[in-house]
Amino acid sequence: MTTLLANPRDTLFQPVAGVMARQDWDRLYADDIEAILRLKREKNAVILAHNYQTPEIFHCVSDIRGDSLALAREACDLDADIIVMAGVHFMAETAKLLNPAKKVLIPDAHAGCSLAEGITADNVRALRAAWPGVPVVTYVNSTAAVKAETDICCTSGNAKKVVESLGVPRVIMIPDEFLARNIEAETGIEMITWPAHCEVHERFTPAEIRQYRRIHPGVVVIAHPECAPDVVAEADFSGSTAQMIDWVAQRKPEKVLLVTECSMSDNLSLLYPDTRFVRPCNLCPHMKRITLAGIRRSLETLQTEVTIPVEFQAPARRAVERMLAV
Ligand code: 13P
Ligand code: SF4
């Protein structure tokens, strides 16, 4: 009797079978996936992937997946020598702040973020001078230099809790003006803000959401809080990328519109095949700089290593750790 051995590639392909053709996966991704899995074992490396990564990264090679908060939390407990951040630069910096002894790699050092680039440490000092005594809450979508000027960080997943934990009637919340305004509406705490926006989420409009509702009757709309307040007002729920995923997992809507970066819908459609995802395709050009080929190269060459100037390390770490303690 002959036994047919399963092709290991069949198992590797399985998680993404719902969103791509097998011959494309074989041609474009399979070699890199096999090489990455081998390199991870050889070098004791882990891959952290943000929810906006494409399915072949998110489902085929990552070890830990999540929103910014989950990635920051998980980064604290890793038993690996090397951390590869499949995400943008500020996420890799946060992982490095929390793991100073580990090698943290980012496959493309130019994977930035319009929010992180929208404010400088000088801007924060000027805000503090203009509003003496008002605490500064900084969204993690910021550079280590800006975090170093900060009392406490927050993510979209814990912003309300962090702001309320301060017990004050007014805070300086930077750099995302829309997140600050959305949290102001939820908490009643006055926000001094900064005019930086996410270039992906600022593109959504209330008229567009209303049009989707007309074209797809019964669709449930969930929006990321980096959207403008008038867009969030059109949604049935608003939360971080992980909170959006939890919402879909628990409510199992028949039809859903995720008002956020569009790889989220691809990744979730594989996990929740009974839900239909209406997909507005707004891509984050920074997240999309991370590719399987880039991750493989990063593990082979151990480039690009993330380093943080020594003067920012302790104050920036303190702001992130204060957030994690809330
Ligand atoms: P989350 O923390 O909700 O994953 O958001 C990060 C981000 O960059 C959204 O644009
Ligand atoms: Fe930055 Fe927006 Fe891209 Fe998130 S989606 S990384 S906030 S530019």
According to DSSP, residue 286 is labeled T
Q: Which tokens belong to 228?
A: 């403008």
In the chain, what are the domains?
A: 8-111+287-301 (3.40.50.10800), 116-198 (3.40.50.10800), 201-278 (3.40.50.10800)
Global confidence as pTM: 0.96
- What pLDDT score does 75 carry? 85
Q: Tell me the ligand closest to 50's alpha carbon.
A: 1
**For the chain, where are the alpha helices, taking DSSP H only?**
8-13, 22-28, 30-43, 55-58, 68-75, 89-98, 121-130, 144-147, 159-165, 177-187, 206-215, 229-232, 241-251, 263-271, 292-301, 310-325
Residue 56 alpha carbon to ligand 2 centre in Å: 20
Q: Is the pLDDT of residue 5 over 80?
A: no
Q: Is 165 annotated as a binding residue?
A: no
Q: Which atom of ligand 1 is nearest to the CA of 52?
A: 4
Band (pLDDT 50/70/90 cuts) for residue 6 is confident
Report cis status (omega within 30 of 0) of the bond before 3: no
Lining ligand 1 with CB less than 6 A are 51, 67-69, 141, 155-157, 198, 224, 226, 240-241
If phi over 0 gives left and psi between -120 and 50 gives alpha, with beta otherwise, what is residue 205?
beta
Mean pLDDT of 272-289: 95
Q: Which atom of ligand 2 is nearest to the CA of 286?
A: 3
With tokens 């979209």, the residue in question is 156
Q: Is 221 annotated as a binding residue?
A: no
Tell me the pLDDT tens digit for each residue of 83-121.
999 999 999 999 999 999 999 999 999 999 999 999 999
Of all residues in the chain, the percent with pLDDT exceeding 90 is: 94
Q: Which atom of ligand 1 is nearest to the CA of 155?
A: 2
Residue 170 alpha carbon to ligand 2 centre in Å: 26
For atom 2 of ligand 2, which residue has the closest CA?
Answer: 198
